[in-house]
């Protein structure tokens, strides 16, 4: 039996659930201090696979690497200007674009993408998901709140994290509700301006050069 090369590279994905479990095992092995629940980790893996596939990444190894990089670097690493430009380049095939990211030319980009101030924990959420909000513009369920509170803790740096006190949870609810309301008022132009301002600061600091 002859198996085309592209199918051989995607054998694990023939059973999507098994592939998700295999990726979860890799996360446990490489990030033993990560404290999310299995359900949360499963959700993060599914989000990571979806984001990777949108960049044209298809092989088992590359998909798993993408998810592990979301843990190791930052979940939004693909939004770094230099990395994003390579992933969006339509001239080389997707697999070649991905491979080029691990060359010497991108060492600085990976370092910058791993910075705490670059982190956007909302990239752990499904890009197609609309958060369930009530009439007061707050999350409806405990799981919705749990996702957001964990995102806040992850933005503070790597775990392990101390248990959340009732006071901290109340403060987080208040702060997150305000952030949700503010984000709801932002337009695509606002987000573009925010991205440009970040790039400007990187250029001024010498961490980003014009291509």
Distance, in Å, from the CA atom of 108 to the CA atom of 24, rounded to the nearest integer, reads 28
Q: 136 is in which domain, residue-wise? A: 128-191
Q: Is 75 exposed, middle or buried (0-12, 13-18, 19+ CB in 10 A)?
A: buried
pLDDT at 38: 87
**Residue 95 and residue 113 in one domain:** yes
Q: pLDDT of the chain along its 211 residues, tens only?
A: 343 445 445 556 678 888 999 999 999 998 887 778 888 899 999 999 999 999 999 888 899 999 999 999 999 999 999 999 999 998 999 889 999 999 999 999 999 999 988 888 888 888 886 555 554 555 545 555 555 555 555 555 555 555 555 666 666 666 666 665 666 666 666 656 666 666 666 666 664 455 4
**Residue 148 and residue 110 in one domain:** no
Distance, in Å, from the CA atom of 112 to the CA atom of 63, rounded to the nearest integer, reads 22
pLDDT at 9: 55
**Residue 89 and residue 156 in one domain:** no
**Residue 107 and residue 137 in one domain:** no
Does residue 86 have a cis peptide bond before it, meaning omega lies within 30 degrees of 0? no
pLDDT at 98: 93
Distance, in Å, from the CA atom of 114 to the CA atom of 40, rounded to the nearest integer, reads 22
**Residue 117 and residue 132 in one domain:** no
**Residue 67 and residue 86 in one domain:** yes
Last residue of a domain, one of 93, 121, 149: 121
pLDDT at 70: 94
């Amino acid at each position: 039996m002859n198996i085309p090369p592209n199918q051989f590279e995607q054998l694990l994905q023939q059973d999507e659930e098994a592939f998700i479990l295999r990726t979860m095992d890799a996360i446990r092995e490489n990030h033993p201090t990560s404290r999310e629940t299995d359900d949360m980790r499963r959700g993060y893996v599914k989000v990571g696979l979806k984001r990777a596939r949108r960049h044209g990444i298809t092989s088992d190894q590359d998909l798993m690497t993408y998810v592990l990089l979301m843990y190791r670097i930052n979940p939004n690493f693909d939004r770094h200007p230099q990395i994003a430009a390579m992933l969006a380049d339509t001239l080389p095939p997707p697999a070649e674009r991905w491979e080029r990211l691990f060359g010497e030319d991108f060492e600085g980009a990976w370092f910058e993408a791993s910075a705490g101030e670059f982190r956007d924990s909302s990239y752990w959420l499904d890009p197609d998901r609309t958060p369930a909000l009530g009439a007061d513009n707050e999350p409806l369920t405990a799981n919705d709140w749990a996702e957001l509170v964990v995102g806040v803790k992850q933005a503070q740096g790597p775990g392990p994290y101390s248990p959340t006190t009732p006071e901290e949870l109340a403060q987080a609810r208040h702060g997150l509700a305000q952030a949700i309301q503010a984000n709801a008022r932002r337009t695509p132009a606002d987000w573009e301006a925010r991205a440009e301002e970040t790039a400007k600061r990187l250029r001024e600091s010498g961490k980003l050069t014009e291509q």
